[in-house]
Amino acid sequence: MQPRSLYTMFQQTVQTYPNANAVGFRSSRNQDYTFWTYQQLDAEVRAFRRGLDALGLRKGDRLALMSHENRVEWAIADLAAQSLGIVTVPIYGTLTATQVAYYLRDSGARMAIVADQKQRQKIQAHRAELPSLEFLVSMTETQADLESAEALAFNEVKALGIRTGKSEAELDALSAQVQPDDLATLIYTSGTTGEPKGAMLTHASLLHTPDAVVEEPIAQLGPGDVFLSFLPLSHITERVGGYYLPLRVGACIVYSLGLMTFIDELQRLVRPTALLCVPRLWEAIYEKVEDTIKKTPPQKRRVAEWALAIARKVARKRYGAEGFQHLDPLLALQYAIAERLVLRKIRERVTGGRLRYCVSGGAPLAPHLAEIFLGLGVPIMEGYGLSEAGVITINRPGQQRIGTVGTRLPHVELKLSQDGEILVRSPGCMKGYYNKPQDTQETIDEEGWLHTGDIGELSADGYLKITDRKKDILVLSNGKKVAPQSIEALLKQSRFIAEAVLFGDQQSLVSALIVPDFERLEAWANETGLPTDNRETLLKSPEVQKLYRNEIDAYTTDLADFEKVRSFQLVPNAFSIEGGELTPTLKVKRRFVAEKYAAFLTAMEKR
């Protein structure tokens, strides 16, 4: 594919599919969806482009975008900025005011576009510390609301362009000057192990994934497809796979209103054909399936449980470590019966019945979940990517291998260092970290290999398995090395465990902080006759301690002796973004957890 800018890619789609639906959106759950064609979306982008130029923003300036939920205004602003060579800085709407100020200060943003009053006030609380920030724009507030706030309404930017902006021909000439190798965005790392860094990605870098999907092709996508946009647009996977990819192929993007409406949108309102998701959502969906089955009459429950067991057995045959294996006649017959009686109904209820492509990323997908959904016929494709490199590998449809993140995308080079670190070199890789030459030098070597910081294994036929983060490896006092993530994934298979974080570096034994699934624990406690009015008392009770000791042992029986969890503490509160334990992409911030729960760790060390 000929290199081009993001805006040029968009214009090619507008010319090819002018009357196809490009976006669908609504402002509240009580409203119907509004759909715009590519021609209509193009008109909105051009109007906003004129406004940005009229305000004096120029090629190379930075423009921050911040919204708690995905919105069509985000796409309009991004495409308008890209058309002028303005560098966008996506910021998660869940971040605190102090964190937002850091992003704006570090990037030197001249403009920040926010979703609403709540996000605007985060910036205004620190505006005196942001000398480069000249313009603050709100997507949803009116200009009347903003008169005293020294801010502009989104529509006012367009109105300004109409009043004082350049002609379309002049603006098109500016857009033509934007080159594929120009900087397009700064995507900040989630900061699980330190200060966030801005990965510098070009137009060509961001188009690598969409072009690779079409070129191979990895998926057959076009104007008939509907993407449900749920993962934050600040996330690299959603940015390239759930936003630029549908724009590349002429598909329609329907914006979710968020977690509270997602299940209804997936199963009834939108019924997408393509979706990008994180494992936590599949965990939540399956928990609902489990809870529904448990409430059915005994005979129906036994049939459903039998069908799901057959589905998992089929998934292990077709998508196991040995690669695709044909089903024996008996299993094939059992699967056909299970499909007819149970699986088809669950699949349609869970996915809406139209889902053809479903990418899972951002964190490891537990093998038992992969078995369940692949066995159900839900086409989950687990992949691997980084803010610094876009999408690197993915499991192709029909060629999934459970426990791996698939094989490399076209034009991606992949190898392992002597200590097992995954190294990648591809058109999707960043130019470096913004204003951080030392960090850049430590991440990208002289031969252009990007050191991912992830430890992995590569099979003979090219399937990549992520085993852990290099910095997270626990080295026990006896020199034994323990990779915590795979053990944490085993523990989280327990219906009573919501989160697990392993510790033990320079200690003699492995210990764990366990966050219970409080809803299920309290239901168990009520059945057992234990009081649930005081959570801390409940967690310290001998019965609950024994329950969790048994759960930990049951799910880690196959581990080496030195890998087993010898000590644990139950945490009385769920991990959350607001509490600081999770990043905006729902990854555990190990360093923060270690500091916040230092007393718990000390107690375990003394045992």
Please write the tens of the pLDDT for every residue from 452-509.
999 999 999 999 999 888 888 898 888 888 889 889 989 999 999 999 999 988 888 9
Q: According to the model, what pLDDT value does residue 259 have? A: 87
**How many CA atoms lie less than 13 Å away from 193 in the CB half-sphere?**
7
Q: Is residue 275 part of a domain?
A: no
Q: Could you tell me which residue, 179 or 475, shows the higher pLDDT?
A: 179
DSSP codes, 503-572: E-TTSSSEEEEEEE-HHHHHHHHHHHT---S-HHHHHHSHHHHHHHHHHHHHH-TTS-GGGSEEEEEE-S
**How many CA atoms lie less than 13 Å away from 124 in the CB half-sphere?**
15
State pLDDT tens for residues 193-206: 567 899 999 999 99
State pLDDT tens for residues 552-565: 999 999 898 999 99
What integer best gives the mean pLDDT of the chain? Answer: 94
Look up the domain containing 120 and give its range: 6-202
Q: Could you tell me which residue, 215 or 288, shows the higher pLDDT?
A: 215
Q: Is residue 591 part of a domain?
A: yes
Residue 499, phi then psi, degrees to nearest 5:
-150, 145
C-alpha distance from residue 178 to each of 16, 43, 84, 535, 600 (Å): 21, 20, 7, 58, 54
Q: Is residue 545 part of a domain?
A: yes
Q: Is residue 331 part of a domain?
A: no
Per DSSP, the three-state class of 167 is coil
Per DSSP, the three-state class of 301 is helix
State pLDDT tens for residues 338-351: 999 999 999 999 99
At which of 165, 182, 202 does a domain end? Answer: 202
Q: According to the model, what pLDDT value does residue 605 have? A: 74
Q: How many CB atoms lie within 10 A of CB 177?
A: 11
DSSP codes, 26-71: -SSTTSPPEEEEHHHHHHHHHHHHHHHHHTT--TT-EEEEEESS--
At which of 144, 179, 202 does a domain end? Answer: 202
Question: What is the domain-level CATH number for residue 122?
Answer: 3.40.50.12780
Q: What's the number of domains the chain is made of? A: 2
Q: Is residue 328 part of a domain?
A: no
At which of 179, 202, 225 does a domain end? Answer: 202
- Give CA–CA dist 234/187, Å, rounded: 7
Q: According to the model, what pLDDT value does residue 385 have? A: 95
Cβ–Cβ < 8 Å for 406, 323: no
Q: Is 192's pLDDT higher than 60?
A: no
Print the SS3 string covering 443-459.
Answer: HECCCCCEEEEEEEEEC
Which range, of 52-61, 109-118, 488-497, 579-588, averages the lowest pLDDT?
A: 579-588
Q: Is residue 340 part of a domain?
A: no
Q: Is residue 278 part of a domain?
A: no
State pLDDT tens for residues 257-287: 998 999 999 999 999 999 999 888 888 889 8
- Give CA–CA dist 515/517, Å, rounded: 7
H helix or E strand, kind and range, residue 103 = helix 97-107
Q: According to the model, what pLDDT value does residue 496 have? A: 96
Average pLDDT over residues 292-304: 94
- Give CA–CA dist 89/74, Å, rounded: 11
- Give CA–CA dist 206/185, Å, rounded: 9
Q: Is residue 556 part of a domain?
A: yes
Average pLDDT over residues 327-332: 96
Cβ-based burial of 149 (10 A; exposed 0-12, middle 13-18, buried ≥19): middle
Question: What is the domain-level CATH number for residue 565?
Answer: 3.30.300.30
